[in-house]
Amino acid sequence: MSVLVLATENEGKLGEFLDLARHSGFDLISMRDAGFDGTIVEDGKTYEENALIKARAVHRQLGGWVLADDSGLSVDVLDGAPGIYSARFAGENASYHDKIAQLHDWLAPYPPASWQASFICAIAIIQPDGREEVVRGECRGLIAEHAAGSNGFGYDPIFFLPEYGQTMAQIDPAVKNQISHRARALALAAEILPHGLEGPGQPSRN
């Protein structure tokens, strides 16, 4: 079985990727488990740039197949903020409770019906020979006024999906693995990887 190194230290992301790729032809391992001991500075201006920064740093040291993602929450009335700064806009050590509180403060001047948003995920893949590919997946929804649900991580409890009447943290994980921004990006990435990367069922490409 081929090894695919995930360039992330985010346990939530790692768990989600493992769920999505459990039926793949790859053995997915984190960059630290693979032996990466460097420091990565994500100073890109886009999701795609940051994904490539992470993937390149790991590939330079370890080689082989490397996959990295950069993802975030983009709110329409905030001109796309917090965007690529979603993980750190409230401070490097802020909890997601603090981040959500800060986001709600920013949104307070606007009516809740206008809190339309997108989860965005860019995935960069570097092949053993150094070839690079980047794909993007998006999921549309609304920011909820109150957090709900215990599945998922990050902003999932306030990302409301009108078609399901639930937040991303309330829906069944198997459904999330069909419709999430990460699942959609991974479905495109599967076309690049030699064995595919299918999770439970085929992730939606819509």
Residues annotated as catalytic (active site), given as ranges: 70
For 135-186, the DSSP string reads EEEEEEEEE-SS---SSS-TTGGGEEETTTTEETTTS-HHHHHHHSHHHHHH
Give me 143's structure tokens. 């920011």
User: Residue 25's closest CA among 185, 183, 164, 195?
Assistant: 195
Give me 75's structure tokens. 């709110």
